[in-house]
Structure 1
Amino acid sequence: MKMKPVFKLGVLVNPFAGIGGALALKGSDGAQIRAQALAMGAQQLAPEKMARALSDIAACGLDVQVYTAAGDMGEHSCVQAGLACEVVFTPEAAQTEASDTQAAATALLAYNLDLLVFAGGDGTARNLCDVIGNKVPVLGVPAGCKIHSGVYAVTPGAAARVITLMARGELVSQFDAEVRDIDEDAFRQGKVQARHYGEMRVPHELQYIQAVKMGGREHDELVLDDIAAYVSEMLDDDEERFYVMGSGSTVAAIMDAAGLDNTLLGVDVVHQGQVVASDVTATQLLDITCGKPTRLVITLIGGQGHILGRGNQQLSPAFIRQLGKENMLVVATKAKLQALEGRPLRLDSGDSDLDSLLAGSVQVITGYQDKVLYPAI
């Protein structure tokens, strides 16, 4: 029997984040500002803030595998918090730069993280956004002079609570949060010029909005309409990608909302708002999507939780590897997830190495612009 997968946590600290704040330097970007701050006796507070965010996780005794960067870029925070960690990146110099943050993030991505928690400010978030995008969920521990971005927890303690929920395998919503940064030179002249630089996926504690007349439970038919409307808009708006539509009634509802014919127990391919192939085989699917930007829309089998290997063998290991986990869109109502009573989603692609690669937190679309993270093994 498969066991619950180990939660893989990436830890990354910008050691110089916020170093100019207490000295009224209006930021910490640039080697000259950091050198000036250090000469004025500035303290590096980001590693300490990360240690506070990690200390609760260590106290809970959760099964977490931690990957980090050497020294003040994460390792020291883990040691201070009492967390064992594996160092996967070492900067060349003690005074790290934005390029070190990005190189460390690149190294961490290779470990199939369930979450990357980082300490820094808007400049750090901006650097990470360039490398990570929406590949993995991230959570910021606020440590910078500027916190205009929406990717941060309100406090290190709040970050710890969210991480603990995720590591326990509880339902945790996620959303695309904005990354913003200001022009520090303009800020020093009294002008606040914040710019949008992108978005990253951010988890937060799941809050259910209960409908009193329904006894606090979601009305599945209405929720299914919301899911269908949300994904069908993707089909209409994203003409570049091919969308592979899996089997099942939830996917069928999406196709119906898009006004497209659907193979209920098969796999169809949609491109530019049209069905370009119906009820495809595994070989046909590979041929159609090879070298093309593609997303997969699948649902789970109610009561069992299988998302691969049950009724959709057309989705071969070769296709899933070609696709990438980040392009798998799992759709289901929260009621369908709750019916699993805490059991994880099941992966049975026929390739155990691939199943291990896909295991961990999976994004599930549960409504209109509403997503949760749910464990899969």
Structure 2
Amino acid sequence: MMFRIALVINPFAGLGGSVGLKGSDGLQTRSEALAKGATPRALERSCQAINVLRPYAAEISWLTAAGAMGESTLKKCGFEAEVVYQAQRADDSGAEDTQRAVQAFIEAKADLIVFAGGDGTARDVCAQLREQLPVVGIPAGVKIHSGVYAVTPTAAGRVLEQLIKGELTTLRSADVMDIDEDAFRQGTVKARRYGEMQVPGELEYMQAVKMGGKESDELVLTDIADDIIESMRPDALYIMGSGSTVAAVMEQLNLPNTLLGVDVIRNQELLAQDVTASELEDLLSQHSEKYLVITLIGGQGHIFGRGNQQLSPRVIREIGRDNIRLLATKTKLKALSGRPLRVDTGDPGLDHELSGFIAVTTGYHDQTMVAVKAVD
């Protein structure tokens, strides 16, 4: 049996993440990201997923869009494909091209659509597809709030592998979410549901919809903040990640905070605000002792790879696993229902290095051991 699998890639997905732009929607943001030295990552992440399927080449008939929207990636991975859509401007494709590609896939009788991008890409696919065909999303964007994405690119490949092998038979509806990027850059999360699509019902590999909002238990957050502040070492560099749990630490220090960005402090004073990956690398090279203070995404359990691409593999390796301080309330951990924490740095080797048990600060002098898992 031949599976007709369609692939569409947003080549510019995730472009703004490493340079602190918190999104990649729009030509202006794309241009700004490129001017700041950002490099596309969607093609590389797509390859991580597609390479899993090499043993099944004889069982797959690929449909795709021309050039960077899919054809180039499939060729790089050793697959032949039928090109059913060509963007008018191959080097500058946009949302309308994703939508037109999806429509071409439907007309070409695809069995399933695979797409690489972020929440904006999921919206574009959903706008044309709704629930006509099942989908698998390869996470490649900055914003990944939607439940239609696999937990990592490799996990997306594993989902497809199981489908081809006949191991997955059930489908479930997953919400397509997106946020207002302009509000996002000002520190406000305004999430909206745009519809739902059908995804394979394998919770091991498909992520949950992100749970948003500020922690309500202020006393617990204060206890966590007090514990971290008490442990801070003189002259050491502290990279403060995004999220309301880390924001509680900054608030306790009476320092300004970039809720959805990355800040840097030393001796409990603000050293740099809303930094990019390259700026972090420069700062880290100037300090012998450095730590990373981060939290996890509620509902998903992701530590890296969701909205904090400033924490690049190079940055994480420079800090070291032992110097990561992970914060979360027990309520947030309990909401994972026993699922492990996830890492999706874009570097599979680093993901495996980060795997294992990690101590999570859940209160004042209170820690919980939780498993971190890379998805093979």
What's the TM-score bracket when you normalise by the shorter of the two chains?
Answer: 0.5 to 0.7
Pick aligned residue for 1:171 from 168, 172, 187: 168
Pick aligned residue for 2:22 from 23, 26, 51: 26
Aligned residue for 1:139, secondary structure, equals strand
Residues 206 and 27 of structure 1, relative CA distance in 2, 3 Å threshold: closer
Matched, 1:148 2:108: no
- Aligned runs of 1:114-263 on 2, under 5 Å? 114-205=111-202
Aligned residue for 2:39, secondary structure, equals coil
Aligned residue for 1:109, secondary structure, equals helix
Residues 206 and 26 of structure 1, relative CA distance in 2, 3 Å threshold: closer
Aligned residue for 1:149, secondary structure, equals coil
**Aligned partner of 2:92: which letter?**
Q
Q: Give the Cα–Cα distance (whole angstroms) in 2 for the partners of residues 57 and 106 of structure 1.
A: 24
Matched, 1:54 2:60: no
Q: Give the Cα–Cα distance (whole angstroms) in 1 for the partners of residues 189 and 178 of structure 2.
A: 10
- Aligned runs of 1:258-297 on 2, under 5 Å? none
Residue aligning to 1:279? none
Residues 201 and 21 of structure 1, relative CA distance in 2, 3 Å threshold: same
Residues 19 and 62 of structure 1, relative CA distance in 2, 3 Å threshold: same
Pick aligned residue for 2:72 from 76, 80, 85: 76
- Aligned runs of 1:95-114 on 2, under 5 Å? 95-114=92-111
**Deviation at residue 171 of structure 1 after TM alignment:** 3.4
Q: Give the Cα–Cα distance (whole angstroms) in 2 for the partners of residues 192 and 206 of structure 1.
A: 26
Contact kept, 8 Å, 1:62 with 1:167, in 2: the verdict is no
**Aligned partner of 2:45: which letter?**
K
Q: Give the Cα–Cα distance (whole angstroms) in 1 for the partners of residues 150 and 201 of structure 2.
A: 8
Q: Give the Cα–Cα distance (whole angstroms) in 2 for the partners of residues 139 and 116 of structure 1.
A: 7
Q: Give the Cα–Cα distance (whole angstroms) in 2 for the partners of residues 35 and 59 of structure 1.
A: 39
**Deviation at residue 41 of structure 1 after TM alignment:** 1.9
Q: Give the Cα–Cα distance (whole angstroms) in 2 for the partners of residues 168 and 84 of structure 1.
A: 20
Please identify runs of 4+ aligned residues in structure 1 that moved more than 6 A.
none
Aligned residue for 1:178, secondary structure, equals strand
Q: Give the Cα–Cα distance (whole angstroms) in 2 for the partners of residues 18 and 171 of structure 1.
A: 29
**Deviation at residue 202 of structure 1 after TM alignment:** 0.6
How many residue pairs get aligned? The number is 203
Contact kept, 8 Å, 2:8 with 2:114, in 1: the verdict is yes
1:57-83: CA deviation from partner (whole Å, max 9, x where unpaired): 113444100000011100111011111
Contact kept, 8 Å, 2:168 with 2:200, in 1: the verdict is no
**Aligned partner of 1:39: which letter?**
A
Residue aligning to 1:282? none
CA RMSD in angstroms, aligned pairs only = 1.4
Scaled by the length of structure 2, what TM-score is found? 0.53
**Deviation at residue 206 of structure 1 after TM alignment:** 8.1
Structure 1 gaps, min length 5 = 208-377
**Deviation at residue 162 of structure 1 after TM alignment:** 1.0
Aligned residue for 1:197, secondary structure, equals strand
Aligned residue for 2:74, secondary structure, equals helix
Determine what percentage of the aligned residue pairs are the same residue. Answer: 50
1:144-182: CA deviation from partner (whole Å, max 9, x where unpaired): 000000000001111111101112233332100000000
Q: Give the Cα–Cα distance (whole angstroms) in 1 for the partners of residues 45 and 97 of structure 2.
A: 20
Contact kept, 8 Å, 1:172 with 1:205, in 2: the verdict is no
Contact kept, 8 Å, 1:172 with 1:206, in 2: the verdict is no
Q: Give the Cα–Cα distance (whole angstroms) in 2 for the partners of residues 98 and 8 of structure 1.
A: 23
Aligned residue for 2:120, secondary structure, equals helix
Q: Highest CA radius of gyration, 1 or 2? A: 1
**Deviation at residue 106 of structure 1 after TM alignment:** 0.8
Q: Give the Cα–Cα distance (whole angstroms) in 2 for the partners of residues 190 and 20 of structure 1.
A: 16
Aligned residue for 1:100, secondary structure, equals helix
Scaled by the length of structure 1, what TM-score is found? 0.52
Contact kept, 8 Å, 2:45 with 2:153, in 1: the verdict is yes
* Farther off after superposition, 163-172 or 134-143: 163-172
Contact kept, 8 Å, 2:3 with 2:164, in 1: the verdict is yes
**Deviation at residue 48 of structure 1 after TM alignment:** 1.2
Q: Give the Cα–Cα distance (whole angstroms) in 1 for the partners of residues 108 and 184 of structure 2.
A: 38
